[in-house]
Chain A
Amino acid sequence: MNLTYTRIELKRSLRNPRFMIFAFAFPVFLFLIQTNVFVTDKDPDAATATAIIMVNMLAFGVFFAATSNGGRLATERAAGWQRQLRLTPLTGRGYMLGKSLTGLLLGVPVLVAVPVIAALANGVSLDAAQWARILLGTWLGAIPFVLLGLLVGQLARPDTLQPLNMGITLVMGFLGGMWIPVDAMPSWMQQLAPVLPSYWLTQLGRGAVTGDLSRSLGLTALVLAAWTIVLGTLVVWRYRKDSARA
């Protein structure tokens, strides 16, 4: 991995309007809308409810950044760009690690924007430990989703990528608790949600703001680590298969 390469990769995404709308503007707007519609000042738990929505939108932001980052893999493979890169000293491992790094870095803008708005406009006030757990936790918690994005990018063709990612986003968003907080879920959904990794991603930040319907940090980290191992193994397996077939 090198700086020039990573910088150019980031620039590609940041000037892509679709990326900016979905991975940056969308979570911000969704945060503003949800806090306006669902949280009233008279609500005794207004501060907590706002923080929970913030946590969910952070999870969605890093999730979407990871997904769209991975989607580039499908495009690059179809364009013959991966073959071109194989004629450089960049190894397959370096390529995938580079993609993982950009996937994580692309989540940073939303991790900054939503909390700033939440703190300034909605008066969310948390202590340093809470912020640290929410921000660092959500950022590192994005790792399995970066891998999921890469896996989808390895498996999909450019024309199947969009519907595939859409389906995954809908399931993760609604059932996994990023768009509907667990508090608002019917009980059958509450029981189903833990099957999905996005539920655990939201749990990373949720635990910092409320103990209600929250899982312990240890368990949450363990589950996400397990997802990381499973998805990481699949990414490596698929990569080996891909280069062997060539």
Chain B
Amino acid sequence: MSETTTTPAAVALRGLRKHYGAVAAVDGIDLEIRPGEVVALLGPNGAGKSTAIDMILGLTTPDAGRVRVFGRTPADAAREGVIGAMLQNGTLLDDLTVLETVRLVASLHKRPIPVERALRRAGAEDLAGRRAGRLSGGQSQRVRFAVALVSDPDLLVLDEPTAAMDPATRRDFWKAMYEDTTTGRTVLFATHYLEEAEEYADRVVLVTGGRVAADGSVAEIRALAGGRVIRAALPDAGEAALRSLPAVTGCEFRDGRAEIASADSDATLRALLHRFPAARDIEITAAGLESAFLALTAETETAR
């Protein structure tokens, strides 16, 4: 499909699979990312996010399926300097300065942007003269971001880029990232921080057990698991009874308190009050991505 259209997809995955021994790390993923999209690959640890990313980058060979990056194989795309990436657990060379590190990578690419500009965009210009081995976790992540940017890639892939950062640094990082993507760059980032996906992605691809559990805009993903959450103290209720109420998509009941995800909170609440007149402390909130995440991952876990 992607080859026949004039602008091929930034990333096109078809039936992607990768097994490690008996474990299916990636168990059949189909995904198409359009140029310019900012996509979050969201999922718990061990969901297969990193394996999927390594295959997109051409660092891991799939057992089955096909990967295309702007219509090319990952290896060709990398050779063209189309892909920039911050890899997970990647470190820098301790004995190089930040400036040398970025300059070295720039020297390997065909059309790099000036090293100073890459450092500035990544918010690392004040680190230029420092040895990479003496940076804090957040600082070295910024340098690695500069390394990813210096080739001026069309596709930027970030594998849990903020894992080593404190909340303030994390916010700065995403600010820098966001400013950068106004240029129309395609971004794919893996994270298990829901708020990051919620705040910075146009589109969320939820991955669990090596498969895509849900794929859509943040609003769509939320809606999938029910638009609202009803919380109430219900002294004489049971979880099974609550689940049988209309429009309920998820429920948790503990110590007389219920947390009910509902696709139609009005209908659910009417039925709830009818069956459990003793309900009190009722609270209705819009479901965050978190409850969507929990509901959807729970669904795929039980379906397996």
Report the minimum CB–CB distance from A9 to chain B (whole Å). Answer: 8
Q: Which residues on the B side are within 8 Å of A237 (C-beta)?
A: none
A241 interfacial contact with B, CB 8 Å? no
B residues in contact with A4, CB < 8 Å: 103-104, 107
Interface members, chain A 57-94 (any B CB < 8 Å): 75-76, 79-81, 83-91
CB of B298 within 8 A of chain A? no
Residue B250 CB within 8 A of the other chain: no
Mask, B73-111, CB within 8 Å of A = 1, is 000001111011101011111111000100111011110
Nearest CB of B to A182, in Å: 38
Say yes or no for B57: interface residue by CB 8 A criterion. yes
CA distance A84 to B93 in the complex (A): 11
Q: Does B2 contact A (CB under 8 A)?
A: no
Q: Are B90 and A83 in contact (CB under 8 A)?
A: yes
With most chain A CB atoms within 10 A of its CB, the pick from B81, B87, B93 is B93
Q: Is the CB of A79 within 8 A of B93?
A: yes
Interface majority SS on B: helix, strand, loop or mixed?
loop
Question: Do residues A89 and B103 form an inter-chain contact, with CB atoms below 8 A?
Answer: no
Q: Which of A99-145 contact B (CB under 8 A)?
A: none
A90 touches B93 (CB 8 A): no
Interface residues on A, range: 20 to 34
Q: Is A246 an interface residue (CB 8 A)?
A: yes
CB within 8 Å of B: which of A1-29? 2-5, 8, 11-12, 15-16
The smallest beta-carbon distance between B249 and chain A, in angstroms, is 40
In the complex, are the beta carbons of B108 and A2 less than 8 A apart? yes
- A81, B83: Cα distance in complex, Å: 16
Q: Are A16 and B95 in contact (CB under 8 A)?
A: yes
Chain A residues within an 8 Å CB radius of B84: 87
Choose one: A2, A88, A91; the contact of B151 (CB below 8 Å): A88
- CB pair B104–A5 under 8 Å, yes or no, is yes
Contacts of B147 in A (CB 8 A): 84
Point out the residues of chain A lying under 8 angstroms from B103, CB to CB.
4, 8
B100 CB to nearest A CB, Å: 5
Contacts of A76 in B (CB 8 A): 93
Q: Which residues of B contact A88 (CB under 8 A)?
A: 78, 81, 105, 108-109, 151
Q: A3: which B residues are within 8 A, CB to CB? A: 107
| Contact of B216 with A by CB under 8 A | no
Return A106 CB to nearest CB of chain B, in Å: 14
Contacts of B93 in A (CB 8 A): 12, 75-76, 79, 81
Considering the chains assembled together, what is the distance between the CA atoms of A12 and B92 in angstroms?
13
Q: Distance in Å from the Cβ of B25 to the closest Cβ of chain A?
A: 13
| Minimal beta-carbon separation of B285 from chain A (angstroms) | 41
Q: Are B83 and A87 in contact (CB under 8 A)?
A: yes
Contact of A87 (CB < 8 Å), options: B61, B85, B91, B104: B85
Cβ-defined partner of A5 (8 Å) among B54, B95, B107: B107
Assembly CA distance A4 to B112 (angstroms): 14
Residue of B nearest to A94 (CB): B108
Q: Which of A80, A81, A87, A246 has the largest count of B CB atoms less than 10 A from its CB?
A: A87
A8 touches B100 (CB 8 A): yes
List residues of chain A with CB under 8 Å of any chain B CB.
Answer: 2-5, 8, 11-12, 15-16, 75-76, 79-81, 83-91, 244, 246
A-B contact pairs, 5 of them (CB 8 A): A5-B104, A15-B95, A85-B108, A88-B108, A246-B54
The 4 closest A-B pairs by CB, nearest first: A4-B107, A80-B90, A88-B108, A79-B91
